[in-house]
Structure 1
Amino acid sequence: MQPNTPAGDNAPTRAAARAAQHRKRSLILLAVILTLAVAIAVVLGILFLRGAADEPETAPPAAGECLPSALRITSDPAVAGALEAIVADLPGSGSDCPDVTVRAEDSAVTAAALAAGSAPDFDVWVPDSAMWPARATGQAELTGVDAADLVVGATVATTPVVFATTEPTATALQTEGAGFATLAGRTVAAVLPDPATVAASSAALLALQTALGGDARTFTALALALDTGVVPTAADALAAAAASTTPTIAMTTEQAVLEQGDDAATPLVPVYPADVKPAVSVPLVTLADASGDTLMAVDALAAAIADAGDQLAEYGLRDAEGNAAPGSTAEAAEDPGAAAEPSDSANQAEVLRTWQILTAPSRMLSLNDVSGSMLQPATADMRRIDLFEQAAVRAVNSLSADSSLATWVFSSRRIGGQDWQEIVPFGPLGDPAHKQRTIDTANGLDSLVGGGTGLYDSVLAAVQYMRDTYVPGQINLVLLNTDGYNEDDDGLDLPALLTQLEALRDPAKPVAVIAIGYGPDTDQAALEQIAAATDGAAYQALQPTDIGTVLVDAVTQRGCRPNCG
Structure 2
Amino acid sequence: MHRAHPNAPSTDAPSPGPYRRPVVVLAVVVFALLVALVAVVTVMFARGAATATVPSEADPPGCLPAEIRVTTDPALADVVDAVAADLAAAGAACPPVTITVEPSRATAASLAAGDAPTFDLWIPDSAMWPAWAAAQAERTETPSAGLLVGPTVATSPVVFATTAETAATLGDAPGFATVAGGEVATVMADPGADASSAAALLGLQVVLGGDARAFTALALALDTAATSSASEALAAAGAATSPTLAVTTEHALRAADSSLTAVLPADVTPVVRATVVTPEDANDQAMTAVEQFAGAMVSSPELLAAHGWRGPDGEAFDSATTDVDTAADPAGGANEAEALRTWQMLTAPSRMLSLNDVSGSMREPVTADMRRIDLFEQAAVRAINSLSDDSSLATWVFSSRRIGGQDWQEIDPFGPLGDAAHKERVIETANGLDRLVGGGTGLYDSVLAAVTYMRETYEPDRVNLVLLNTDGLNEDDQGLDLPELLVELEKLRDPSRPVAVIAIGYGPDTDQAALEQIAAATDGAAYQALEPTDIGTVLVDAVTQRGCRPNCG
The two structures have a TM-score, normalised by structure 2, of 0.79
* Matching of residue 251 in structure 1 with residue 247 in structure 2: yes
Out of 126, 135, 139, which is 1:138 matched to? 135
CA offset at residue 497 of structure 1?
3.9
Residue 540 of structure 2: aligned partner: 551
Deviations 1:274-295 (A, max 9, x none): 3332111111223344455544
Residue 42 of structure 2: aligned partner: none
Question: Is the Cα–Cα contact under 8 Å of residues 158 and 317 in structure 1 kept in the other structure?
Answer: yes
Deviations 1:500-548 (A, max 9, x none): 4444444444322211223444343333233233332111233446634
Residue 316 of structure 1: aligned partner: 308
Counterpart Cα distance in 1 of 2:521 and 2:139: 21
Q: Secondary structure at the match of 2:356?
A: strand
Question: Is the Cα–Cα contact under 8 Å of residues 511 and 534 in structure 1 kept in the other structure?
Answer: yes
Counterpart Cα distance in 1 of 2:314 and 2:213: 33
- CA spacing shift, 1:522–1:300, aligned 2, 3 Å: closer
- CA spacing shift, 1:204–1:381, aligned 2, 3 Å: farther
Question: Is the Cα–Cα contact under 8 Å of residues 67 and 92 in structure 1 kept in the other structure?
Answer: no
Counterpart Cα distance in 1 of 2:92 and 2:442: 80
Residue 367 of structure 1: aligned partner: 355
Superposed, 1:116-135 pairs within 5 Å as 116-135=113-132
Q: Secondary structure at the match of 1:350?
A: helix
Q: Secondary structure at the match of 1:367?
A: strand
Counterpart Cα distance in 2 of 1:179 and 1:381: 51
Structure with more contact order per residue of length (Cα contacts < 8 Å, sep ≥ 6) = 2
CA offset at residue 424 of structure 1?
0.4
- CA spacing shift, 1:490–1:94, aligned 2, 3 Å: closer
* Matching of residue 347 in structure 1 with residue 335 in structure 2: yes
Counterpart Cα distance in 1 of 2:242 and 2:357: 45
- CA spacing shift, 1:277–1:377, aligned 2, 3 Å: farther
Residue 6 of structure 2: aligned partner: none
User: Whose radius of gyration is greater, 1 or 2?
Assistant: 1
CA offset at residue 199 of structure 1?
1.5
Residue 517 of structure 1: aligned partner: 505
Residue 392 of structure 1: aligned partner: 380
* Matching of residue 483 in structure 1 with residue 479 in structure 2: no
- CA spacing shift, 1:164–1:489, aligned 2, 3 Å: same
Question: Is the Cα–Cα contact under 8 Å of residues 196 and 272 in structure 2 kept in the other structure?
Answer: yes
Counterpart Cα distance in 1 of 2:341 and 2:521: 23
CA offset at residue 193 of structure 1?
1.8
Counterpart Cα distance in 2 of 1:184 and 1:386: 38
Question: Is the Cα–Cα contact under 8 Å of residues 88 and 94 in structure 2 kept in the other structure?
Answer: no
Amino acid at match of 1:316: G
CA offset at residue 160 of structure 1?
0.9
- CA spacing shift, 1:178–1:525, aligned 2, 3 Å: farther
Q: Secondary structure at the match of 1:453?
A: coil
* Matching of residue 306 in structure 1 with residue 298 in structure 2: yes
Q: Secondary structure at the match of 2:272?
A: strand
* Matching of residue 429 in structure 1 with residue 417 in structure 2: yes
Q: Secondary structure at the match of 1:366?
A: strand
CA offset at residue 158 of structure 1?
0.2
Counterpart Cα distance in 1 of 2:149 and 2:311: 17
Residue 284 of structure 1: aligned partner: 276
Residue 532 of structure 1: aligned partner: 520
CA offset at residue 215 of structure 1?
2.9
- CA spacing shift, 1:226–1:340, aligned 2, 3 Å: farther
Deviations 1:147-182 (A, max 9, x none): 34332221111001123334454455563x643345
Counterpart Cα distance in 2 of 1:425 and 1:74: 47
CA offset at residue 350 of structure 1?
2.2
Question: Is the Cα–Cα contact under 8 Å of residues 352 and 466 in structure 2 kept in the other structure?
Answer: yes
Question: Is the Cα–Cα contact under 8 Å of residues 411 and 455 in structure 1 kept in the other structure?
Answer: yes
* Matching of residue 218 in structure 1 with residue 218 in structure 2: no
Residue 52 of structure 1: aligned partner: none
Superposed, 1:132-281 pairs within 5 Å as 132-171=129-168, 175=172, 178-225=174-221, 228=224, 232-262=228-258, 267-281=259-273
- Greater Cα shift, 486-495 or 437-446: 486-495
- Greater Cα shift, 532-541 or 160-169: 160-169
- CA spacing shift, 1:190–1:483, aligned 2, 3 Å: farther
Counterpart Cα distance in 2 of 1:315 and 1:379: 69
Unaligned residue ranges in structure 1 (runs of 5+) = 1-55
Amino acid at match of 1:138: A
CA offset at residue 113 of structure 1?
2.0
* Matching of residue 84 in structure 1 with residue 84 in structure 2: no
Counterpart Cα distance in 1 of 2:477 and 2:61: 88
- CA spacing shift, 1:234–1:498, aligned 2, 3 Å: same
Counterpart Cα distance in 1 of 2:163 and 2:274: 28
Counterpart Cα distance in 1 of 2:349 and 2:362: 31
Q: Secondary structure at the match of 1:522?
A: coil
The two structures have a TM-score, normalised by structure 1, of 0.77
- CA spacing shift, 1:407–1:166, aligned 2, 3 Å: farther
Counterpart Cα distance in 1 of 2:501 and 2:411: 19
Superposed, 1:391-430 pairs within 5 Å as 391-430=379-418
Question: Is the Cα–Cα contact under 8 Å of residues 61 and 86 in structure 2 kept in the other structure?
Answer: no
Amino acid at match of 1:447: R
Deviations 1:298-346 (A, max 9, x none): 333333323322222222211111112224xxxx2437xx735557112
Unaligned residue ranges in structure 2 (runs of 5+) = 1-50
**Percent identity (aligned):** 62
- CA spacing shift, 1:325–1:90, aligned 2, 3 Å: farther
- Greater Cα shift, 308-317 or 504-513: 504-513
- CA spacing shift, 1:367–1:59, aligned 2, 3 Å: closer
CA offset at residue 349 of structure 1?
1.8
- CA spacing shift, 1:115–1:532, aligned 2, 3 Å: closer
Question: Is the Cα–Cα contact under 8 Å of residues 158 and 280 in structure 1 kept in the other structure?
Answer: yes
